[in-house]
Amino acid sequence: DYGSSLTVSLPAALQPHQPFQIIVRYTTADGPAIWWLDPELTYGNAKPFVFTQGHSVCNRSFFPCFDTPAVKCTYSATVKAPAGIQVLMSATQSSYVEEEGVYQFYMEYPVPAYLVALVAGDLIHADIGPRSRVWAEPCLLPTAISKLSGIVERWLTAAESLYGPYIWGRYDIVFLPPSFPIVAMENPCLTFIISSILESDEFLIIDVIHEVAHSWFGNAVTNATWEEMWLSEGLATYAQRRITTETYGAAFTCLETAFRLDALHRQMKLLGEDNPVSKLQVKLEPGVNPSNLMNLFTYEKGYCFVYYLSQLCGDPRHFDSFLRAYIEKYKFTSVVAQDLLDSFLNFFPELKEQCVESKAGLEFERWLNATGPPLAEPDLSQGSSLTRPVETLFKLWTTEPLDSVAAASSVDLTKWRTFQTVLFLDRLLDGSPLPHEVIKKLSECYSSQLDSMNAEIRIRWLQIVVRNDYYPDLYKVRRFLENQMSRMYTIPLYEDLCTGTLKSFALEIFYQTQNQLHPNLRKTIQQILSQGLNPLPAIDTTAVTTDTPAIVLEDKVSEATNGAISLRDVNVSA
């Protein structure tokens, strides 16, 4: 993960503070930051594709750099590409000489190394606002336009009204093939987003707004150490929810927050309350990739602390004023938590006089260094009109005896918001395995409705199917996996299939579909399929498979990811 350092000895005659230049000639073909795709791994199947993903410490495999968020610099780049290949970078200025096939890029503001990003492929664009355009493969562009035209400017304007001017010039978005390993990345001027999210409108809204928020929190002001990632992610999540409240109302924001906090507590249950990764100030041990510390605590526990600070002010608009001053003071620099907290207390001297930083049970130091759940959580009562129907329906299905099927089956999930449906399904997942009668009735009531919904909803229903060994709907699991190439929509299902009695079914699907998966994803799934020591049980899959015989792989121990924590619990935007 870390590579090896390059040490440069400076001439003895060099005077202190004397400017100097170092030229490093190097070649890189492959590495953690650089993802090469054959045409078959793109949507258009026409041209090769390449993108980079630098977060957290991957860009050292892309170019020689001080690969730490504490160091920021401007950069320029010259990129030569074949005709018909569009090249983009996270830069404020760009030019193209068609005769030579050469692109020139320049980022005029200092950024940390992880925010230098490049993408090249069969990409075309359309303007969706006065300072925004969307880039995508030709077959995806109409969908991207229909989803985002006009509304990105609305989000930018709302963010500016809260936190001051947008300083990066353009805010463009590029949709990447399903091999993109995360959901989204806040590269300045050019947000990277996985194309798979296009079909899930509400998740698309939240993901883009979160990346918009990073333009202030993370990109302009950056955490100086990876041990305090919450300074970027917690503040960006808070800002994201202030923006959604301004544009979509408090009820929608509270619903999305309830969904995420549910996931936080699920992760807490899996990891344990004493797990050190639940701290906001995580100790980064030598040799540990900081990306391994990315979890929902970074986002949601960080958000809860920021929300708590805003409540101390009495009015969120007063806290907005503080954050504007914080951005203005520290923009283009990197900070530690004490910088934020000192600035907060200096901005609100009356709170400093009250010693709010050492209020019993809610001490700032405890927020930062205690393991376990947030010390306080936000009041989500403004979302009750959206969350109460979810709670009511869940109780109808999980209260014994099951004599409320008629009432439950009358609920039309197609009229619910996506976050309501996924919150309901996640809670059913938490309660799985369910009694056979319950899963049978659930399928009768909702399976056909869910078939027409987006992938975020369908994958959760299919996980319920798998965790309950509900054979009549297993063909839908096969159909879903045959049409998915994205990590976020394949790994959770393979994890669940291999945890239960359906490993041979999973193996069969994998061997039929592996050629359409990126090698990195293929390797991860192979590791999941190889886990375990117990012999595979003999199961009857004739009701759920095609005529292709099942393929059995001997179990062996491997250094695989921990299947006990499914990706649905930890999959978050960068």
Q: Provide the annotated binding site for Zn(2+).
A: 210, 214, 233
- SS3 of 178-210: the string is CCCCCCEECCCCEEEEEHHHHHCHHHHHHHHHH
Cα atoms in the Cβ-side hemisphere of radius 13 Å centred on 256: 22
- 561, 571 in Cβ contact below 8 A? no
Give the strand pairing for 118-121 and 49-52.
antiparallel
3-class secondary-structure state, position 125: strand
Q: What are the tokens at 93?
A: 């200025």
- 75, 107 in Cβ contact below 8 A? yes
Q: 324 burial class (0-12, 13-18, 19+ CB within 10 angstroms)?
A: middle
Q: 149 burial class (0-12, 13-18, 19+ CB within 10 angstroms)?
A: middle
Residues 6+ apart with CB under 8 A from 311: none
Residue in 443, 437, 445 with CA at minimum distance from that of residue 464:
443
Q: What are the tokens at 154?
A: 């609305």
The letter for the amino acid at 344 is F
Cα dist from 364 to 161, 231, 279, 280, whole Å: 28, 14, 12, 11
Residue in 164, 99, 13, 437 with CA at minimum distance from that of residue 156:
164
Residues labelled as active-site residues = 211, 299
> How are strands ordered across the β-sheet holding 86-89?
34-37, 49-52, 118-121, 86-89
Residues 6+ apart with CB under 8 A from 342: none
Cα atoms in the Cβ-side hemisphere of radius 13 Å centred on 36: 6
Q: What are phi and psi of 175, to 5 degrees?
A: -95, 125
Residue in 268, 152, 171 with CA at minimum distance from that of residue 219:
171
Binding-site residues, in ranges, read 210, 214, 233
For 15, other C-beta atoms within 10 Å of its C-beta total: 7
Cα dist from 495 to 194, 269, 539, whole Å: 21, 18, 18
Residue in 395, 433, 334 with CA at minimum distance from that of residue 69:
334
Query: Buried b vs exposed e over 191-224: b needs ≥16 C-beta within 10 Å?
Result: bbbbbbbbbbebbbbbbbbbbbbbbbbbbbbbbb
Give the strand pairing for 86-89 and 132-136.
unpaired
